[in-house]
A and B are shown apart, each in its own frame.
Chain A
Amino acid sequence: MSDVRIGVYVCHCGKNIGGVINPAKVAEFASRLPNVVVSRDYMYMCSSPGQALIEDDIKKYNLNRVIVAACSPRMHEPTFQAVLKRAGLNPWLLQMVNIREHVTWVHEDTPDKAEEKAEELIAAAVARAAHLYEITTEKAPVVKSALVIGGGIAGIRAALDLANAGIKVYLVEKKQSIGGKMAQLDKTFPTLDCSKCILTPLMVDVARHPNIEIYAYSEVVDVSGSAGDFKVKVKLKPTYVDWSKCTGCGLCVEKCPGRAPSEFNEGLGFRKAIYFEFAQAVPRKPVIDPRYCLWFTKGICRVCSKVCPVGAIDYEQKERYVELNVGAIVVAIGYEIYDMSKMVEYGYGKFKNVITGLQLERLSDADGPTKGKILRLSDGKEPKTVAIVLCAGSRDEKHVKYCCRFGCAAALKHVYYIKHSVPDSKVLIFYTDVRAFGKGFEEFYQKVRSWDDVYFIRGRPAEIFEDKDGSLVFDVYDSNTGQLINVKADLVVLESAVVPPKDWEPLRRLLKVSCDPGGFALELHPKLRPFETTADGIFLAGTIQGPKDIPDTVAHAAAAAAAAIGFLLKGYVESVPYLATVNEDLCSGCGLCASVCPYDAITIEEKEGRRVAKVNMIRCKGCGACAATCPSGAMQQNYFTDTQILSEVSTLAGGAK
């Protein structure tokens, strides 16, 4: 290796390094190491004069390896790689030695030993540097289209933003209509504007947008490929209605004699067996639910096909599949309400007059089962005393550990519904903390506190019992007054906990997105990159990343769309430098590497009559799993080859001097 010419640069980092060890002495030590042509120390190596020093030396001494002993590579590796590039060297001929975080910051009390450690680390880096080689990356074009999974407010906003930027968008929604949870709400806090009035115009925009294609009543069943070039298989569930013929007149729905519990109304009231999700459904094309359709269950009826003026009913319809090719995926599948019957002490599911907040939304909605009148489910009477229980299942080690983030504000809104529907009612709010954190929330909370016959009680019911007349009785300790309060309420509203959708897990595995302890999708960074994932090209919008209210969901979705737009309009994806590479002469084609690769980047291919592994440069993310698994050493990872690591380790083990 006579042609290896190394320059070593020891940084003082002000007093961070220079205050503990003597960089000049360390640089002097380094100058005596093999292959080292020049060795210097400088106050701030990352400053312009520091960088110029290295750049000039590379040209002057004809260096072909550079070692910078300074801070963590996470901090300044890109800075010094740029120096090498400017001087005409491949950036991967740089080796950083971390003598700040790994040495001076942690061994401040023992400067002599710290200096020795710095010297040993530099000696190891010098040995390693001899084995560095030039690394080039590969670029692949990006397909300028996006898939948005989930048609709630997050998916709608993301789809519209992407489409307005000129990107082709496929919006996949599992239900008959887009709209999501927001369509189920009566009003939105804290301004109390009608939820549907602000949502449905956006739904229509989506339907009309030339760049958006909606796949309603569909599910993503397979995802392959990689960032910039995903292949997505979408299952179009059988609707038993030919949507290309259907005009959305609704005659079939009107005449259908079949009845089914309405999912949109949270199980309160009924819908037909052929149905629209709700009146303003987009697309306005009905589906038949074969579980309740008389033709499917009993072989009679066929009324819908008789009344349909265009002959769109097709009982023989089978599920169909479409293959989409997209560059980016936005996951916006939302959340679900926690099953409150698991919280046995509150009697949900057992006592008719214990309902969830979302059910109250349906009761309050003019389009709901009671046409907007809040009534008791047991006898249809107006509730005169209503108890609202906050944190029902949330912040609970036995149920859902985290805060639902909108229950408090929703409860305030629910007070309004109740007082509006039954003005002479008494509303009791049982809270632990009222977290009115959003813009305008505290002002709303203050307003609600001032309303007549609205009582905030700082306590939490433990056991709710049902009285003979269907009302609910329970004791609550109010820690403000220090008294136990006996309550008899006509209606109990549980501001229930929220969880990720039950059917999310298979999709999460397809997308290779990690999850947090609550099961929500894990963001790339909790503060700085909250809408990206560890999987390139896959973005998160809305509550699938964690509970959010509507303003936060919309902001998150727009941010996800912006990130996806940036990714797509850049036009290419670049391979990572730390790629796995195969030495085909050593490879036996055993395929162990392919089986451990989490990115499906390795294939075993026939080459000159034998099987060898082949790495897809774009898909490989440089995790190193294959290199660690390979029994023959044929699979090596760039910048972390066995030779590089072993030369470093053996130098450390042998001592520097």
Chain B
Amino acid sequence: MSLDVKLIDKKVLKDVIELVKPHTPQYCYQCAKCTSACSTSKVLPEYKPHLIVALTRLGLIKELLNSGIIWACSECWKCAEYCPQDVAPVEVVIALKNLAISMGYKPPEDLRVMAKNVVELGYISPPIEVLSKEFEMYSRATLGLPQLIKPYINVEAVNNLKKFFGGVYE
């Protein structure tokens, strides 16, 4: 990707700066300590928090939202913990996610399925198997574990939430 200064969108940048206060993305001096720490980056190398901040403070936010990379963040908060300039890249990512929804960008399909599962099942994905430390799958029945009880869902509250926030679920 080559970047063009004409792409710099100051208006959207202002929105992000407002959303991430009191953190200041412009303070970032690109030490990339966040990316050294990033849990997501370990499994998805193209996810680089310092690059997200770099593109954000350049005002190339629409390009970032188009790429869909922001939805990969696992929100472990390590970047915020270690950032020497208190930029807290995760806060920037969260701001970008909110901005994306309000600007009409669609989140990835998987995320919508997850949101649907939370509302309908109470879990992100249907609980079927158990994962061991060695990454082997066992069914609950063979391990003699009891069947999981479906969590209590306050249907009215969930519907209200959907009504107020819409967002990812829609």
- Select B33's contact among A399, A460, A483, A484, beta carbons within 8 Å: A460
Chain B stretch 25-55: residues in CB contact (< 8 A) with chain A? 27, 29-38, 41-42, 45, 48, 50
B112 beta carbon closer than 8 Å to chain A: no
- Evaluate whether A397 and B85 lie within 8 angstroms (CB atoms) in the complex, with A462-B78, A477-B48, A484-B45 already known: yes
Assess whether B37 is in contact with A462, with CB atoms less than 8 Å apart. yes
A650 beta carbon closer than 8 Å to chain B: no
CB distance from B98 to the nearest CB of A (A): 24
Assess whether A476 is in contact with B36, with CB atoms less than 8 Å apart. yes
Assess whether A462 is in contact with B41, with CB atoms less than 8 Å apart. no
Closest to A458 in B: B32
Assess whether A462 is in contact with B84, with CB atoms less than 8 Å apart. no
Interface of B is mostly: helix
CB distance from A346 to the nearest CB of B (A): 10
B86 beta carbon closer than 8 Å to chain A: yes
Chain B residues whose C-beta falls within 8 Å of the C-beta of A462 in the assembled complex:
33-34, 36-37, 78, 82
Chain A residues whose C-beta falls within 8 Å of the C-beta of B41 in the assembled complex:
477, 484
- Evaluate whether A395 and B82 lie within 8 angstroms (CB atoms) in the complex, with A459-B31, A477-B32 already known: no
Chain B residues whose C-beta falls within 8 Å of the C-beta of A460 in the assembled complex:
31-33, 36, 84
A345 beta carbon closer than 8 Å to chain B: yes
Assess whether B86 is in contact with A397, with CB atoms less than 8 Å apart. yes
**How distant is the Cα of A484 from the Cα of B41 in the complex, in angstroms?**
9
- Select B84's contact among A395, A479, A483, beta carbons within 8 Å: A395
Assess whether A477 is in contact with B82, with CB atoms less than 8 Å apart. no
CB distance from A314 to the nearest CB of B (A): 51
Assess whether B86 is in contact with A398, with CB atoms less than 8 Å apart. yes
Assess whether B86 is in contact with A479, with CB atoms less than 8 Å apart. no
CB distance from B148 to the nearest CB of A (A): 34
A336 beta carbon closer than 8 Å to chain B: no
A339 beta carbon closer than 8 Å to chain B: no
Chain B residues whose C-beta falls within 8 Å of the C-beta of A461 in the assembled complex:
33, 36
A280 beta carbon closer than 8 Å to chain B: no
- Evaluate whether A459 and B32 lie within 8 angstroms (CB atoms) in the complex, with A477-B50, A479-B50 already known: yes
**How distant is the Cα of A432 from the Cα of B30 in the complex, in angstroms?**
8
Chain A residues whose C-beta falls within 8 Å of the C-beta of B48 in the assembled complex:
477
Chain A stretch 345-398: residues in CB contact (< 8 A) with chain B? 345, 391, 395-398
Chain A residues whose C-beta falls within 8 Å of the C-beta of B34 in the assembled complex:
462
Assess whether A432 is in contact with B36, with CB atoms less than 8 Å apart. no
Chain B residues whose C-beta falls within 8 Å of the C-beta of A505 in the assembled complex:
none
**Residue with the greatest number of chain A CB neighbours at <10 A, chosen from B27, B31, B35, B41:** B31
**How distant is the Cα of A173 from the Cα of B76 in the complex, in angstroms?**
49
Assess whether B37 is in contact with A463, with CB atoms less than 8 Å apart. yes
Assess whether B31 is in contact with A391, with CB atoms less than 8 Å apart. yes
Assess whether B37 is in contact with A391, with CB atoms less than 8 Å apart. no
**How distant is the Cα of A433 from the Cα of B32 in the complex, in angstroms?**
12
Chain B stretch 106-150: residues in CB contact (< 8 A) with chain A? none
- Evaluate whether A398 and B84 lie within 8 angstroms (CB atoms) in the complex, with A462-B78, A477-B50 already known: yes
**How distant is the Cα of A483 from the Cα of B29 in the complex, in angstroms?**
18
A475 beta carbon closer than 8 Å to chain B: yes
Binding site for B on A (CB under 8 A): 345, 391, 395-399, 432-433, 458-463, 474-477, 479, 483-484
Chain B, interface size category, equals: 20 to 34
Assess whether B86 is in contact with A477, with CB atoms less than 8 Å apart. no
Assess whether B32 is in contact with A391, with CB atoms less than 8 Å apart. no
CB distance from B122 to the nearest CB of A (A): 33
**Residue with the greatest number of chain B CB neighbours at <10 A, chosen from A345, A432, A479:** A479
Chain A residues whose C-beta falls within 8 Å of the C-beta of B35 in the assembled complex:
459, 477, 479, 484
- Select B30's contact among A391, A398, A475, A479, beta carbons within 8 Å: A479
New A-B pairs, 15, CB < 8 Å, besides A477-B50, A479-B35: A391-B31, A395-B84, A396-B85, A459-B35, A460-B32, A461-B36, A462-B78, A463-B78, A463-B82, A474-B36, A477-B35, A477-B36, A479-B32, A484-B36, A484-B41
Closest to B87 in A: A397
A-B contact pairs, 11 of them (CB 8 A): A391-B31, A391-B84, A395-B29, A432-B31, A459-B31, A459-B35, A459-B36, A460-B84, A475-B37, A477-B41, A484-B35
**How distant is the Cα of A177 from the Cα of B37 in the complex, in angstroms?**
44
- Evaluate whether A397 and B84 lie within 8 angstroms (CB atoms) in the complex, with A477-B48, A479-B50 already known: yes
Closest to B49 in A: A477
Closest to B78 in A: A462
Chain A residues whose C-beta falls within 8 Å of the C-beta of B33 in the assembled complex:
459-462
Chain A residues whose C-beta falls within 8 Å of the C-beta of B78 in the assembled complex:
462-463
Chain B residues whose C-beta falls within 8 Å of the C-beta of A432 in the assembled complex:
29-31
Q: Please give me the 4 A-B residue pairs with the lowest Cβ-Cβ distance, nearest first.
A: A462-B37, A477-B35, A396-B84, A460-B33
Chain A residues whose C-beta falls within 8 Å of the C-beta of B50 in the assembled complex:
477, 479
Chain B stretch 45-79: residues in CB contact (< 8 A) with chain A? 45, 48, 50, 78
**How distant is the Cα of A474 from the Cα of B36 in the complex, in angstroms?**
9
Chain A residues whose C-beta falls within 8 Å of the C-beta of B86 in the assembled complex:
397-398
CB distance from A499 to the nearest CB of B (A): 16
CB distance from B77 to the nearest CB of A (A): 12
Chain A residues whose C-beta falls within 8 Å of the C-beta of B29 in the assembled complex:
395, 432-433
**How distant is the Cα of A461 from the Cα of B32 in the complex, in angstroms?**
9
Chain B stretch 78-104: residues in CB contact (< 8 A) with chain A? 78, 81-82, 84-86
Chain A residues whose C-beta falls within 8 Å of the C-beta of B81 in the assembled complex:
345
CB distance from A508 to the nearest CB of B (A): 28
**How distant is the Cα of A264 from the Cα of B95 in the complex, in angstroms?**
50
**How distant is the Cα of A461 from the Cα of B82 in the complex, in angstroms?**
10
**How distant is the Cα of A468 from the Cα of B109 in the complex, in angstroms?**
43
Chain B residues whose C-beta falls within 8 Å of the C-beta of A391 in the assembled complex:
31, 84
**How distant is the Cα of A345 from the Cα of B32 in the complex, in angstroms?**
15
- Select B36's contact among A397, A398, A433, A475, beta carbons within 8 Å: A475
Chain B residues whose C-beta falls within 8 Å of the C-beta of A396 in the assembled complex:
84-85
**How distant is the Cα of A477 from the Cα of B47 in the complex, in angstroms?**
12
Chain A residues whose C-beta falls within 8 Å of the C-beta of B45 in the assembled complex:
483-484
**How distant is the Cα of A433 from the Cα of B31 in the complex, in angstroms?**
8
CB distance from A150 to the nearest CB of B (A): 30
**Residue with the greatest number of chain B CB neighbours at <10 A, chosen from A391, A474, A484:** A484
**How distant is the Cα of A476 from the Cα of B30 in the complex, in angstroms?**
13
CB distance from B144 to the nearest CB of A (A): 35
